[in-house]
């Protein structure tokens, strides 16, 4: 018997929305749907309802404003690799 070792499944579908409805109408309907979802009753212990991509958008905005934190060990490895390649890592530090 084979033991399940985990994994990460993925499905991607690209749909031409304009084949089904005008883009502006679709956007308005999605805005209404998001408003309805976010105004739903929250589960106990949760402060808000998030929609797909919302956490990632907030992270991107924070990182654009504050920068991306890189652990010291990772930075040291990058600096060694840059030195090996003759690159000036100080230009981005």
Q: What is the pLDDT of residue 1?
A: 55
Q: What is the average pLDDT across 49-70?
A: 95
Pick the more confident residue, 53 or 2: 53
Domain boundaries, the chain: 16-42, 52-93
Q: What is the average pLDDT across 66-78?
A: 93
Q: What is the average pLDDT across 18-47?
A: 97
DSSP string of the chain, one letter each residue = -PPP------------GGGTS-HHHHHHHHHHHHHHHHTSPPPTT-S----TTHHHHHHHHHHHHH-----HHHHHHHHHHHHHTT--GGGT-
Flag whether the pTM goes above 0.75.
no
Q: What is the pLDDT of residue 7?
A: 81
């Amino acid at each position: 018997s084979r033991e399940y070792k985990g994994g990460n499944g993925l499905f991607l579908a690209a749909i031409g929305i304009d084949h089904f409805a005008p883009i502006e109408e679709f956007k308005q309907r999605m805005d209404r749907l998001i408003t309805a979802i976010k105004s739903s009753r929250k589960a106990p212990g949760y402060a808000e309802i998030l929609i797909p991509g919302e956490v990632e958008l907030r992270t991107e905005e924070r990182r654009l404003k504050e920068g991306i934190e890189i652990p010291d060990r990772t930075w040291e490895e990058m600096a060694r690799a840059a030195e090996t390649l003759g690159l000036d890592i100080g230009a981005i530090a």
